[in-house]
Amino acid sequence: MAMTDMGWLSSSPLLLRGAVSVAQSPNLQKKGEERRGLGSCVSSCSAICGRTRDGVGNMQALEFLSLIVVDYTTSITLLQELGSLTKLRTLGLEWRISTVHKDKDAYFDNFLSALNKLGSSSLQYLTIVSPWSLDFLFDFWSSPPPHLLKELGIKGWYLSKIPVWMTSLTNLTYLDIEVKVRQETLQILGDFPALQFAKLCSNVAAPEERCLVVSNNGFRCLEKLSFVGWVNMMFEEGAMPVLETLEFQIIANEAQTACGFVPPDLGVRHLLALRNLVVNVHCEGASLEEVEAVEAAIRIATSMLPNHPTPDLRRFLDSEM
C-alpha cells in the first residue's frame, strides 16, 4: 500500500499516521459538522497522516495505525477509544509515559485494557517503542494473549525477560525485540513454533553468562537471525536447520574460554542451510593472533557448508587490540 506524507496537522495529543481502508463515521457525514475524527472523506484513501482529537473510536473500520505517540498530553479517553477499534490489524505506538508520571497508573491500566481488547480482536502486527521500561506492560498483558499476532517489535528499552504469555503466540513469524538475552531466554524463543525471522538486541552480560548455546531442539522454522549483544553464541550439531541468514558477534578474547573450549568457529559448520553470514568480531583486549584465528576458522567452516557462503567479517574496536 503506497504511503504519502501529507505533513503533520496540529491540534491533538494523539499522533496518528496510517493507512485506512474504510473509516466511516456517522457523525461526520454531514457537511459543516464539526470533524472530530478523520471522517468519511478518508473512506477510499490509501494513506493519511495527522493529529486527531477524541473521536478515533468512531472509525470502526480502521485497520492500520502506523504511529501513535502517547505522552502527558494524551487524554485517557483516546486510550479507551483505541480499544474499541476491533478491526485494527496493525498498530505502531510510541509510549512516552514514564514510571514517575503522576497519572501513570491510569495510563497503564487503560493502555493494558486497550491492548487486551485489540489482541482478542484482529491485531496481527504490533510495534511499541519507548525510552522507558515496558516490563509493567508485558508482565500483565496475559488475558487473553493476542492469538492472531504475526509480527511483534519492542524497541527502545530492554525487557528484563520474555513474558510467559508470549509462549502462546503460535502464529508469530517475526520478532524484533530488545531483551536481556540469557540461556533461558534463548530456550523460550526456540520453542516458538512459527518463528521465521528474529532480531534480538541484548544488553551486556556478566562474564559467566557470555556464551549462549543454540541446541538442536529449537528454532525449527527460523530462516533469519540477527543477534546484537556482548555475548558469544555457539551452535550445536543440528541447530537451526533452515537458517539461511545470520548476523552475530564473537568476542575474540573470550570465545574459547566462555564457551568451554569449543571449536574455534563456534559451530558455524553445523548451520547447513546457511547462505549469508555476517560476523562482528570484537577485538578489544584480544591479540591480533586471536582475531585472525577466529576469522580463519569462520572462513574454513563456511567453505565446507553446502551453499559455500562468503562470510562478511567485521572488526570492531580493532584499535584496542
Residue 153 is predicted with a pLDDT of 94
Reported as a single tens digit per residue, the pLDDT across 94-134 is: 999 988 888 888 999 999 899 989 989 999 999 999 988 88
Are 51 and 9 within 8 A, CB to CB?
yes
Look up the pTM and report it. 0.81
Instruction: State the Cα–Cα distance between residues 41 and 33, nearest whole angstrom.
Output: 13
DSSP H or E run through 91: strand 90-95
Q: Pairing relation of β-strands 197-201 and 174-179?
A: parallel
Residue 13 is predicted with a pLDDT of 33
Backbone angles phi, psi at 94, to 5 degrees: -110, 120
Residue 139 is predicted with a pLDDT of 67
Are 48 and 6 within 8 A, CB to CB?
yes
Residue 239 is predicted with a pLDDT of 95
Q: Which grid coordinates belong to 189?
A: 524463543
Are 185 and 162 within 8 A, CB to CB?
yes
Residue 44 is predicted with a pLDDT of 26
Q: Which grid coordinates belong to 86?
A: 476491533
Instruction: State the Cα–Cα distance between residues 59 and 250, nearest whole angstrom.
Output: 50
Residue 291 is predicted with a pLDDT of 93
Question: 20, 74, 2: which is closest to 38 by C-alpha?
Answer: 20
Letter string b/e over residues 16-55, b meaning 16 or more CB atoms within 10 A of that residue's CB: bbbbbbebbbeebeeeeeeebbbbbebbeeebbbbebbbb
At residue 140, what is the residue type?
Answer: F
Question: 94, 100, 112: which is closest to 157 by C-alpha?
Answer: 94
Burial level of 11, CB count in 10 A (0-12/13-18/19+)?
A: exposed
Q: Which residue has the cell 553464541?
A: 233
- How many C-beta atoms lie closer than 10 Å to residue 208's C-beta? 7
- Ranges of the chain with pLDDT below 70: 1-59, 139-143, 205, 207-208, 256, 258, 260-262
Domain formed by 14-179, architecture: Alpha-Beta Horseshoe (3.80)
Instruction: State the Cα–Cα distance between residues 74 and 83, nearest whole angstrom.
Output: 15
